Structure 1
Amino acid sequence: MNLPNWTREPLVHFLAAGTLVFAWFAWQGEPLDPTDRVIDIDREMQAQIALGFERMMNRPPTDAELDGLIDQYVREEVLYREALRLGFDRDDAVVRRRMAQKMDMAATASVETAQPSDADLRKWYEEHPERFATEVEYSFDQLWFETEGEAQSTLARLRGSADWRQYGGVISLPASLERKSRRDVLANFGEQFVAGLDQLEQQEQWQGPVPSGLGWHLVRLHARTPGKVPPLNAIREEVLNDWRTATIAERKERAYQLLRDAYRVDIAR
């Protein structure tokens, strides 16, 4: 029998387990009370504490270290239960946010170490080439002017002049750039300039004016080289990380929607 996809969600398993625990205590006649005064450190709990130490330190704890870890656990548990008993968790934005984050983590834990098949990874790579393409590169000359009017009046004279460097104002910007990445151009000229640069034709004629946060520019765009997508084998780890990040975000949203559908939200108008 094929089960629906939602039954395979880790968050569904998490919630189902919680429901079973609650039902067990209810059947036994014992309330599920987080502020219970008995803290039971059984062998299984001690093993979990020791395992946590071993994962961090790459060795098992000594007997003295384990005793210290258990004392630390007891201290945290006492303070946690007393905080719950006093209602410190209510109306606390930090606690509320942390609990919501833990629910998100429960929904996406299985994806953190998931390995897609080669076919799935190649499909992701082919469907999202823009995520892995190298940056666009630009080669151009530019002249800076303080006002748009100055730039406009100079444009006609430039088209009949071979010595273009005699025009324009003095500013600490390069007059010429050769095969510079979009990131480099952004760093020097800003977003407004790059947006205008993308609107220009690639040609040997001066164009503009192009605005920037510094003033106005006349530009001669020699080349605009589109970014290239490297072969999958060359960027496999990058593609894998991108797939995992996107899959975590998708899993988180699907898990939330599964829970959200069970609620009715009334917003006063």
Structure 2
Amino acid sequence: MMREWLRDPLAHFLIAGAAIWGVLSLTGGEVDPEARTISLSREQQAGLALAFERTMGRAPTDAELDARVAQWVREEVLYREALRLGLDEGDPVVKRRLATKMDELASAQAELVQPSEEELRAWYRENASGYESGGIYVFEQAYFPTRDAALAARGEDRPRGQPISLPRNVSGMSDKEVGQLFGSEFAEGLSRLEASPEWQGPVESGYGWHLVRVSSRDDGEIPPFEDLREKVERDWRSRTIAARREAAFEVLREAYTVEVE
């Protein structure tokens, strides 16, 4: 178990981050609130200038950069004094912010890595259903609180069902919209029904059971990878970042014993 963990690139990343943090703590870098010397490197000044440019759409003037430096120094002084007074202890905002920074540390590599074309295509094939468009339905539904009640009414020409805060008749609604209104369970059951003059079902939802008469359905289609490449890469990166954050947390979580009274 330990050997497999040490071979994981994520473990290397966490170990390296912990080592850097430890060295800074020992040598009196920015993380030491007791230090009375505040140093702003050229790299940090470049970072302030870059942040200004990203926000304003242009490079800062000398005066604007001086103002940013002054603001940075002010925040650093107040931050260290707050740590010296212990104001960070028991503060839920500080705790949440530090937890967020740990998440960002774990996902940093995924934000920078560039997936190959083969990786993206493979990921797209595995998640193709999420990019399906279309799936337009016209249907009528009757609601019943139990499955037995729905089955008993299925032979009727026009089952009445019971009142519910859902439309009886639906026209021109996409499968995504059906899922948002009726719930994903109902949308999945509806997708298995063919257009027919007969009442079908019952189809389950979070509300209960429904008899459904599908007048028409326009099956969706999955666009080719080339049409969605940029979106696929964004989705791949988002999912990869989330997965790495969760994996990093699980690695750290195993080192703790949690006792809930």
> Does TM-score exceed 0.5, indicating one fold?
yes
Aligned-residue offset at 1:79: 1.2
| Structure 2 unaligned regions, length at least 5 | 1-5
Of residues 1, 8, 20, the one that matches 1:17 is: 20
Cα distance change of structure 1 residues 145 and 51 upon mapping to structure 2, 3 Å threshold: closer
Tell which structure's C-alpha radius of gyration is larger: 1
Residue 123 of structure 1: aligned partner: 122
Decide which moves more: 242-251 or 56-65. 56-65
Contact 2:10–2:248 (CA under 8 A) maintained in structure 1: no
Decide which moves more: 45-54 or 242-251. 45-54
What CA distance in whole angstroms lies between the structure 2 residues aligned with 1:257 and 1:217? 41
What CA distance in whole angstroms lies between the structure 2 residues aligned with 1:51 and 1:57? 10
Residues 1:243 and 2:236 aligned together: yes
Residues 1:35 and 2:27 aligned together: no
Aligned-residue offset at 1:42: 5.1
Work out the number of aligned pairs and report it: 251
Residue 174 of structure 2: aligned partner: 181
Residue 114 of structure 1: aligned partner: 113
Contact 1:9–1:107 (CA under 8 A) maintained in structure 2: no
Cα distance change of structure 1 residues 82 and 228 upon mapping to structure 2, 3 Å threshold: same
Question: Equivalences for 1:199-210 in 2 at 5 Å?
Answer: 202-207=195-200
What CA distance in whole angstroms lies between the structure 2 residues aligned with 1:42 and 1:59? 22
What CA distance in whole angstroms lies between the structure 1 residues aligned with 2:169 and 2:47? 64
Residue 267 of structure 1: aligned partner: 259
Cα distance change of structure 1 residues 20 and 209 upon mapping to structure 2, 3 Å threshold: closer
Contact 1:197–1:210 (CA under 8 A) maintained in structure 2: yes
After superposition, the CA RMSD in angstroms is 4.1
Superposed CA deviations along residues 179-229 of structure 1, whole A, max 9, x for unmatched, are x31234456x63386566457564332346778899997643244554332
| Structure 1 unaligned regions, length at least 5 | 159-163
Of residues 196, 213, 226, the one that matches 1:233 is: 226
Contact 2:141–2:212 (CA under 8 A) maintained in structure 1: yes
Question: Equivalences for 1:163-178 in 2 at 5 Å?
Answer: 173=167, 175=169, 177=171
Cα distance change of structure 1 residues 14 and 238 upon mapping to structure 2, 3 Å threshold: same
Aligned-residue offset at 1:107: 1.5
The TM-score, its normalising length taken from structure 2, stands at: 0.73
The TM-score, its normalising length taken from structure 1, stands at: 0.71
The alignment-based identity, stated in percent, is 41
Cα distance change of structure 1 residues 183 and 10 upon mapping to structure 2, 3 Å threshold: same
Q: Secondary structure of 1:112's partner?
A: helix
Superposed CA deviations along residues 146-174 of structure 1, whole A, max 9, x for unmatched, are 999x999986563xxxxx7xx969x9957
Aligned-residue offset at 1:14: 2.1
Superposed CA deviations along residues 227-256 of structure 1, whole A, max 9, x for unmatched, are 332111111122111211111011112222
